[in-house]
Structure 1
């Protein structure tokens, strides 16, 4: 059976310049307004029988504001950034420039003591490939941008370094169709199942 999984990027919890690693802040006022603005176009996605979200506050709030009432999945948590958690990239670069260079160059490295990029992509990929059987073939997941980048990288069987080439804007959608090891990317004109 082919599954149709639509991934919805959570709304923002801070400006791009203030983004912090492994950040679990709730939506900021601009994020709330943006969810309310786009809600009518995302409403058709509520037809999905299975609705999931990353456990972050911003993903849960985005899903709740949209009326999806998604089930939190620990496998969809953002990458564990270890000692870098709560710091911006600029702050880490200032203190640990060699570690940042190593992390960006080698998907298997984890100089922060958390999860490597490869391990993160594999974790999200296992979740993606192990969907339950015996239900409507439509699913949705509200997730942090990094989780969506990891899912697309896994689904396209791209090397881990391609993760950095996937841009995910707040409240954007991407649909993956298929099943374990045989996914294809569907670019929809509108959010629909």
Structure 2
């Protein structure tokens, strides 16, 4: 049996318009409410043999709120946004419009002084591809939506620009089945989560 990795996008730490690059804020009240409402459907994922999370407060809190007690993985951290860390996209655009345009257009761009999109996808993909190869092992990872997007781009061997076309909502899940270099995206019905 192949390895099964279920990725859960962390609950909200702020409204969508107030999202900041490399945001280290904890879950807000709305985020806690989302976790409580989703818990019934997601708690069965706690049967996974291995449970991980991004090293952000909201990822850990989401995992703990779902009963996963996840282990933080540095490789699952959000993209290093350099000098844009803590800014919203609008604030970065107001300060450096040409740099933001370059970053959005070129997946190799490090216009912000941090990690390029390609480097980010490779880092997250490296984590994914080094998961235990034991047949049938189940893994669950709670991560920032950006990390889930990067994992999907890597797993599907999609062009890096595909990253911008993936809409990962808080507490949404994606399951990858396979092993290093050969992943399939699996869609489960709500009654078949484990």
In 2, distance between residues paired with 1:5 and 1:148?
11
Q: Calculate the aligned-residue CA RMSD, in Å.
A: 1.1
Checking the alignment, whether the CA contact within 8 Å between 2:9 and 2:171 is kept in structure 1 is yes
Q: Residue in 2 aligned with 1:187?
A: 187
Q: Residue in 2 aligned with 1:156?
A: 156
For residues 49-73 of structure 1, give each alpha carbon's deviation from its aligned partner in whole angstroms, at most 9, with x where no partner exists.
0000000110000000111000000
Aligned pairs for 1:124-139 (under 5 A) are: 124-134=124-134, 137-139=137-139
Aligned pairs for 1:25-36 (under 5 A) are: 25-36=25-36
In 1, distance between residues paired with 2:97 and 2:109?
14
Q: Residue in 1 aligned with 2:20?
A: 20
For residues 40-93 of structure 1, give each alpha carbon's deviation from its aligned partner in whole angstroms, at most 9, with x where no partner exists.
111110110000000011000000011100000000000000000000000111
Corresponding pairs, count: 193
Aligned pairs for 1:25-174 (under 5 A) are: 25-134=25-134, 137-174=137-174
TM-score, reference length from structure 1: 0.97
Give the deviation of 1:107 after TM superposition.
0.3
Q: Which sections of structure 1, spanning at least 5 residues, go unmatched?
A: none
In 1, distance between residues paired with 2:30 and 2:105?
34
Give the deviation of 1:132 after TM superposition.
2.2
TM-score, reference length from structure 2: 0.97
SS in 2 for 1:183: strand
